[in-house]
Amino acid sequence: MLGTSAFIPALLVPAMGGSDGDRARVIQTLLFVAGIKTLLQALFGTRLPAVVGGSLAYVVPIAYIINDSSLQKISNDHERFIHTMRAIQGALIVASSIQIILGYSQVWGLFSRFFSPLGMAPVVGLVGLGMFQRGFPQLGNCIEIGLPMLLLVIGLTQYLKHVRPFKDVPIFERFPILICVTIVWIYAVILTASGAYRGKPSLTQHSCRTDKANLISTAPWFKFPYPLQWGPPTFSVGHSFAMMSAVLVSMVESTGAYIAASRLAIATPPPAYVLSRGIGWQGIGVLLDGLFGTGTGSTVLVENVGLLGLTRVGSRRVVQVSAGFMIVFSTLGKFGAVFASIPVPIYAALHCILFGLVAAVGLSFLQFTNMNSMRNLMITGLSLFLGISIPQFFAQYWDARHYGLVHTNAGWFNAFLNTLFMSPATVGLIIAVFMDNTMEVERSKKDRGMPWWVKFRTFRGDNRNEEFYTLPFNLNRFFPPTYIEDHCPKATVDVASDNFLNQKKENINPQRTLVKSTTQRTQNGGKYGEDPAEESVPDRKRIRGLDPDTSSCLTDRGLGDFHRMHRRSVRCCGLTWLLPEKLQMQDSKIGQEAGFVILR
């Protein structure tokens, strides 16, 4: 997280005309707002242990704003920096409305219902693989620092993780990043002090040296970031449209990161309602970026998602406490400047491991699909290959003047399309989701992994969702989940027929009809379409007279809720079902037979 927070200002602030002091102040603001956004997301958003910070997806539209002719004609560098920052702020404020609207209106949740394990595997995989330029290419700029860092992290986390110098404290498993960064940072300081980089090329010195005294000396000891600290934002239609493309890209990348974080934190995949809620709060975060002036928008940081798997610490409490530390320490200007002096190859070595973990998590979703199917092989292979190839093709045309492959007279249009097609996850999502939902959809439900995935699409689809994603402070009473129900076919029994509903409307008191069910035993043998890690469920119900989809919808949401949460009713397929009071429950199973009474 610190690497991204230092890298983005180092890339953008000099191009905006800012000094080292401006760069230190932007880093400070970026850390402060990142702490607020992370705390809000962990408390009221998806509630996953994910860190929200600056995003590189915004670089292309920001470069378009920086090169605007009205800003380039300002001769004074500091004045140009201030006016450019205000233009970026205005564009972020307007563009944030896209995420806020799509999130809180549940539109993104509706779109997420087209996802499947087959579609999400390449998307989440490309969230990690798409960051390959921040891995070994940056590590190789200072191989004498980056390579020892990479080997040391692998050694501590994989080969020495069971070694405990202190009894009952697995320090190599819990704190490998802190230990490795400290050791290699000291090593880099020694190399710099000994004059090892004297006379080396400027790129090597910039990547390897730690004596960035000017950055530290110009940073204030204490500075509290506040809204509109750079002045009132300026608004431009072209700038705002260009920024909207980055907002859309960050939505896709964050969705993949949320799914990966849930997998690494041993949680259920976030339901549609939770994804929409998280995107809505992410829009609030982009709005804060615009108000405070961080110089870029925000997304879920992929490296911190990978850190969940490396440290095996997936508690949201840890992330919430860390967010509090970010807020406090970001007010100390020297603190941010000191961490900005850490050589980039140290972060790059970590990226090689963390981004790789996220990519592997994405590909692990293929275990729930049938990879003997040529259809699945085609979708997976094509989306992965084009998800890397197309963005690389667009990136090579993005030259020093920031003209991309799309180069028309409308600069905002150029930035919009170049941003979309330079994002591997976005390209992968377009290809994978489109093909997955247009090629033999009905015949390939099991091959796509839908029997495992469908129960996680709604908030009540799995009993564990309530444990993972319920809002704190009993806020669910005031903001209840919005259920986006499955499209269940009509039941074929009288209790769910049109005649029954018509009788209900005419205030005719129908006899309460009991729908009997029988036990259908299931075995989880690790076959595709089933979660091999899921506990065996020997008492799964199949209701007579209902089609399989409706029966599965009712039993998955109903019986589990009744048994574990002691509820007497459940909403399914547009109807409310009541469990009879006389139903006998046992500790080991949900009775010998279950009955439901339809209410409405």
Residue 486 gets the label, from left (phi > 0), alpha (psi -120 to 50) or beta, of beta
Range from 152-156, 323-327, 486-490 carrying the lowest mean pLDDT: 486-490
pLDDT of residue 399: 63
For residue 517, the model assigns a pLDDT of 33
Cβ atoms of 49 and 42 within 8 Å: the answer is: yes
Burial of 292 from C-beta contacts in 10 A (0-12 / 13-18 / 19+): buried
Confidence of residue 165 (pLDDT cuts 50, 70, 90): confident
How are the residues of the chain apportioned to helix, strand and coil, as percentages rounded to the nearest 5?
A: 60, 5, 35
Q: Among 388-397, 494-503, 571-580, whose mean pLDDT is lowest?
A: 494-503
Say if CB 391 and CB 422 are below 8 A apart.
yes
For residue 377 the two structure tokens come to 């092989």
Of residues 442 and 37, which shows the higher confidence score?
37
Residue 341 reports pLDDT greater than 60: yes
> Under DSSP, is residue 515 helix (H, G, I), strand (E, B) or coil?
strand
Distances (CA, A) of 226 to 5, 62, 289, 380: 18, 22, 11, 46
Give the DSSP H or E segment for 78: helix 77-104
- Say how many C-beta atoms besides its own lie within 10 A of residue 356's C-beta: 17
Per residue in 210-261, pLDDT (tens digit) is 876 566 777 778 888 899 999 999 999 999 999 999 999 999 999 999 999 9
pLDDT at residue number 543:
42
Query: Model confidence at 312, in pLDDT bands (50, 70, 90)?
Result: confident
pLDDT tens string 59-75: 989 999 998 888 988 88
% pLDDT > 70, the chain: 76
- In 236-342, DSSP assigns E strands to 298-300
pLDDT of res. 22: 86
Rounded to whole angstroms, how far apart are CA atoms 509 and 521?
A: 36
pLDDT tens per residue across span 73-113: 888 999 999 999 999 999 999 999 999 999 999 899 889 88
In whole numbers, what is the pLDDT of the chain averaged over residues? 78
Residue-level pLDDT at 482:
61
Beta bridge partners of 515: 596
Q: How confident is the model at residue 563 (pLDDT cuts 50, 70, 90)?
A: very low
- Out of 252-261, 363-372, 455-464, pick the least confident: 455-464
Residue 39 — pLDDT band, cuts 50, 70, 90? Answer: very high
Separation CA 461–CA 573 (nearest Å): 12
Res 536 pLDDT > 60: no
**Confidence class of residue 174 from pLDDT cuts 50, 70 and 90?**
confident
439 contact partners, CB below 8 Å, separation of at least 6: 375, 379
